[in-house]
């Protein structure tokens, strides 16, 4: 028997656990680092912008117009320097950059500036697609409000690069975790795989299979226990095989030794049966019992010898071309069942088969139906694609479902639901099954309590089972 190797679902789950733990941890660290760095850099940028705004407004001389401040800022202007928009209380305006106008100052920022106690406010805005941090300062001595625009584009670009770097790092960590998890899962579950392979080998009959034992961990203990179990199983099977061989030899020897004296007993009982009509009536019944018992004992010995031959692999198959329908009718007539058994066979059904073994199967099945079932007993010969069938049906009480799985076992007898007092060795159906197997066919049984039993012999045509 071959056991299908299970899928590596547990190994995949273990690898997935590694990936999830590493991915979640690395993702949490990456997100936390991104948030912390972004807050720090934005805070630093805002603080530098406030200092820069204060330094720029310090360059505005008292009593000078806004243009004087803008001129001073132009003198010290550096690349990336902030833009300044000044809005006077009397409506005058000035701007250090052509791209910035008083309309670019958010109204909310102007309201916040007027409401602020310290005369300071700030807000993030976007002008023509460029992000700015606008620092607003009230300049009471000039009766004006100054709005300094600091570009946040470089800051945001660096934060984007940081996020991309952290994302790449997270992907690398996750991939490394997947690789590491795969390696660890494979190495960790290797003892499990070895145990599964060893169990399959033991199932297939390789009882010498053993697992390597190394280390002192749980798997080593498991392997040692497995080896101990297999060794005990091997000892038990060897003992059982020896006991079975002894039993078979004993049974065969007894049957062989009984064969000759039983032949004499059967011959003597036959002579008594012939002379019974001339004997007194009070001795006729004992003679009948003696004849019947001698016949049963003789059949039992013959069945035991036949099983011995099959077990020893000496069951030869002599193939003849026969008509199956004629074979069924001949078996029924030979045993005097023509009044108890109806044969439905349109025929002819010609096949190559061992006639003697076929008769053994048919006789066992029909005898079982006649003695354990109830009339009508019907034998039907049929054909299917690539196979022929012989069905033997009776109208007896049926076979209990609990008996069906064991029906072809040796010495097994069904419960009292079948006709009592019909005695049997419990070998007939097992012999029929063995002979069917030698012919390349099989036996099937179906039964329901109260609806009789149906035995079906399926034989292949041209050596192929057409079922």
Could you tell me the two tokens for 458?
A: 């399926």
Q: Which of 287-305 are b and which e, b meaning 16 or more Cβ less than 10 Å from the residue's Cβ? A: eeeebeebbeebebbebbb
- Here the tokens at position 220 are 């080593």
- From the list 13, 19, 11, 17, the residue with the least C-alpha distance to 174 is 19
Considering the chain, tell me which residue range(s) the CATH 3.30.450.20 domain(s) occupy: 11-160
Residue with token string 């620092």? 135
pLDDT at 464: 44
320-460 adopts what CATH topology? Heat Shock Protein 90 (3.30.565)
- What 3-state DSSP class applies to 181? helix
- Per-position DSSP letters for 21-33, written without gaps between them: HHHHHHHHHHHHH
Residue 321 pairs in a beta bridge with 352
Peptide bond into 376 cis (omega under 30): yes
Q: What is the pLDDT of residue 59?
A: 65
Say how far apart CA 375 and CA 392 lie, in whole Å: 12
- The rounded distance, in Å, linking the Cα atoms of 431 and 446 is 19
Residue 383, φ and ψ in degrees, nearest 5: -130, 140
Instruction: Please check whether residue 189 is in contact with residue 23, taking contact to mean a CB–CB distance below 8 angstroms.
Output: no
* Residue ranges of the chain assigned to CATH 3.30.565.10: 320-460
In the chain, CATH 1.10.287 sits at 218-311
pLDDT tens per residue, the chain (467 residues)? 444 555 557 778 878 887 888 888 888 988 998 899 989 988 888 888 888 877 777 666 666 666 666 665 554 455 556 777 777 666 666 666 666 778 888 888 888 888 877 678 888 888 888 888 888 887 776 677 788 888 888 888 988 999 999 999 889 988 888 888 888 777 777 777 778 888 888 888 787 888 888 777 777 887 888 888 888 888 888 888 887 777 667 666 666 666 677 667 767 777 777 777 777 777 777 777 777 777 777 677 666 766 677 766 666 778 889 888 988 999 899 988 888 999 988 778 888 888 888 998 998 899 888 888 888 999 999 887 778 999 999 988 888 888 888 888 877 777 544 444 445 567 788 888 888 888 889 999 999 888 889 999 999 886 444 33
Which pLDDT score is estimated for 457? 92
pLDDT (0 to 100) of residue 100 = 76
Instruction: Name the one residue in this structure whose structure tokens are 């961990």.
Output: 217
Report d(CA 211, CA 228) in Å as an integer: 10
- At 243, is the secondary structure helix, strand, or coil? helix
* H-run or E-run covering 356: helix 355-372
* Contact between 326 and 358 (Cβ < 8 Å): no
Retrieve residue 393's tokens. 């049906």
Question: How many other CB atoms are found less than 10 A from the CB of residue 442?
Answer: 16
CATH annotation of 218-311: 1.10.287
CA distances from 177 to 16, 21, 141 (A): 9, 9, 64
Instruction: Spell out a b/e string for 193-214, using b for 16 or more CB atoms within 10 Å of the CB, else e.
Output: eebeebbbbbeeeeeebebeee
Please give the CATH topology (third level) of the domain spanning 11-160: Beta-Lactamase (3.30.450)
């Amino acid at each position: 028997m071959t056991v299908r190797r299970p899928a590596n679902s547990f190994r995949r789950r273990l690898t997935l656990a590694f990936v999830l733990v590493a991915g979640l941890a690395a993702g949490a660290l990456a997100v936390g680092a991104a948030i912390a760095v972004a807050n720090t850099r934005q805070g630093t940028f805002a603080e530098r912008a406030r200092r820069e705004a204060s330094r720029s407004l310090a360059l505005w001389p008292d009593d000078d117009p806004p243009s004087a401040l803008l001129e001073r800022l132009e003198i010290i202007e550096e690349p990336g320097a902030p833009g300044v928009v000044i809005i006077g209380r009397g409506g005058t305006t000035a701007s250090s950059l052509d791209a910035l106008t008083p309309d670019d100052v958010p109204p909310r920022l102007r309201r916040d500036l007027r409401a602020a106690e310290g005369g300071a406010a700030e807000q993030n805005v976007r002008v023509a697609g460029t992000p700015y941090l606008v620092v607003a300062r009230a300049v009471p001595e000039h009766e004006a409000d100054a709005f300094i625009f600091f570009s946040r584009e470089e800051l945001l670009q660096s934060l984007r690069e940081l996020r991309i770097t952290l994302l790449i790092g997270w992907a690398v960590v996750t991939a490394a975790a997947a690789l590491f998890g795969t390696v660890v899962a494979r190495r960790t579950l290797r003892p499990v795989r070895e145990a599964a392979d060893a169990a399959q080998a033991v199932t297939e009959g390789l009882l010498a299979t053993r697992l390597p034992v190394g280390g002192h961990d749980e798997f080593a203990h498991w392997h040692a226990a497995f080896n101990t179990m297999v060794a005990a199983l091997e000892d038990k099977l060897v003992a059982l095989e020896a006991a079975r061989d002894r039993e078979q030899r004993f049974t065969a020897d007894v049957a062989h030794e009984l064969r000759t004296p039983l032949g004499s007993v059967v011959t003597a009982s036959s002579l008594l049966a012939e002379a019974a009509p001339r004997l007194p009536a009070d001795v006729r019944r004992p003679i009948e019992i003696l004849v019947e018992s001698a016949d049963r004992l003789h059949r039992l010995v013959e069945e035991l010898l036949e099983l011995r031959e099959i077990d020893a692999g000496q069951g030869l198959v002599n193939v003849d071309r026969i008509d199956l329908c004629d074979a069924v009718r001949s078996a029924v007539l030979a045993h005097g069942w023509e009044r108890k058994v109806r044969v439905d066979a349109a025929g002819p059904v010609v096949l190559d088969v061992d006639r003697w073994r076929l008769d053994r199967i048919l006789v066992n099945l029909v005898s079982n139906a006649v003695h354990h079932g109830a009339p009508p007993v019907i034998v039907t010969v049929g054909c299917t694609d690539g196979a022929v069938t012989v069905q033997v049906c009776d109208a007896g009480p049926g076979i209990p479902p609990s008996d069906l799985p064991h029906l072809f076992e040796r010495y097994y007898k069904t419960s009292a639901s079948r006709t009592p007092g019909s005695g049997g060795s419990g070998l007939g159906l097992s012999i029929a099954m063995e002979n069917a197997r030698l012919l390349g066919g099989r036996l099937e049984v179906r039964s329901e309590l109260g609806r009789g039993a149906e035995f079906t012999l399926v034989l292949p045509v041209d050596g192929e089972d057409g079922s």
